[in-house]
Chains A and B, each alone.
Chain A
Amino acid sequence: MTFDTLIGHRQQKNILHRALSSQHLAHAYLFEGPDGVGKKMMALAFVRARLCENGTGCETCPACLKVNNDNHPDIHFLTADGAAIKIEQIRALQQELSLRPLEGNGKFCLIDGAEHLTNGAANALLKTLEEPQPGTMIILLTSQPETLLPTIRSRCQRLPFMRLPKQQLANLLVQKLDLGDTEATVLAALSEGSFKKALGPNRELFLEKRHKLIQTLSALSAGSTIPTFTFADELETEKETLFDILDIFQSFYRDLLLLKHNRPLEELVNQDLLEILQHQKHSTTTASLLTKLKALESARFHLQRNVNRRLALEVMLMRITAA
């Protein structure tokens, strides 16, 4: 995939294009932006354009093909080994980068998920990141730039990536997946401008199970103790998709919040559930919606930190129904 075939990110493409044509290339870049919007693709396209024998990223020369097949000897690809990128990996990288390039005009290093660098690894990278061997380029990719060391951030040229506009993603989904307009809009809104999410395995969850989930949730009330616990039980079994389900709940209450404040309908996520939304709109207050959203947020926070899942979900639902 060359620059031109990448979807969206016009500004970012422009910047990299200009850097390439004027040879004003920094030795360290930090690509920051949400997951699954195409940071890695962009980085690969950029590197390919540098390594390409025709200087364009033609995809036909041997160098380009090697990049595409992930076996170019001068590209080093670093990802989390287990939960983190460890200091040993960085040391090995430094060793590699101290050598001359084998085929290309420089060595390239892509660190995907730079937020996974351990403290030691990040510190060990600092000197290399500041003054690498001539011809070396390090590209860090991250979705959470704020969690990186400030000393790392300050050594890189930062290139922020935005979420893809909802409409653009929706149009793409209509084309590629043959979805209806409403479905595509809902899916695009729920995946927050991320290709990965929209095209991922959660399509069925987002499109079909959502109705049922939201109906069950909105049917709960403060008195319905037993259904609440049953529902928590159900949710607990959803190991893989639990966070996406929380996303769905969040989107539902957010829609209500927007409706309460008379925002236009296009801004809503669950546009196909207008009936339930309109119905619920009158029976809730802004304060209770905020409490519910807070409950969801704190449940997510705790679930990410290895608590008793069942308990966390029960507490969450109880707080939601009580609000």
Chain B
Amino acid sequence: MDPRAAGGEPVNSALDWLFNPDHWTGPTGIPTRILEHLGYTALTVVVAAAIAVPIGAVIGHTGRGTFLIAGLSNGLRALPELGLLTLLVLLTYVGLLPVVISLVILALPPILAGTYAGVRNVDRAVVDAAQGMGMRGSTVLWKVELPNALPLILGGIRSATLQVIATATIAAYVALGGLGRFVIDGNNAGAGSPDGYPQMAAGAIVIALLALVVEGVLEVVQRLAVSPGLRNATTRGRVSRIWRKPTPELVGRST
């Protein structure tokens, strides 16, 4: 299919499709799809965080089971999401559950890695001070290590969220909603149709913009969520190095 067959400049056709008011209303409109997409993402990240933060924290705190972090990060980054998703749907049913399960699997590594790195990197001096004050293991974890690890944990959640937003586009292939719907439907409508490539391109533009906006918002959230105690001058030097989310080197991407 040649995008130019859609008539006129492909960019213009895509923008025309994007700004056509018909496409902004109703259950198949852009806003609905955005909400569906964010819904899948939010659900996935909440579930993944509920699983990965405790595990990562325990591994970071005790130092045991670190192979799990490295192994999972590597292995799951290599797992083709399209394959996992479609196989799960074929084995279960066409619906939200298999999609969320496969998305959660994908979201676990960044959060695990971020939590582990955060807890592990807490300044030993701080932990010693806490233990000197009489705090026992789990209290140290709860009251000292986790709050100090928050920037990196949030960084991991941030990476996971972006990963899920990217992968949720595939959900449309198995009859779900979300922004991938425009790409899949547009692909099937073919050229010669105003709902062909223009729809695909318009969908792609919205996907890209959504990802960028969410990334920006989460960056702000990450900065605001760090405890004031970590914002003072003496720790600023060390903390400023970990403002950055766990770098791509740590978590990569698979969609």
Tell whether A pairs with B.
no
> Which B residues have a C-beta under 8 Å from some C-beta of A?
none
> Which A residues have a C-beta under 8 Å from some C-beta of B?
none
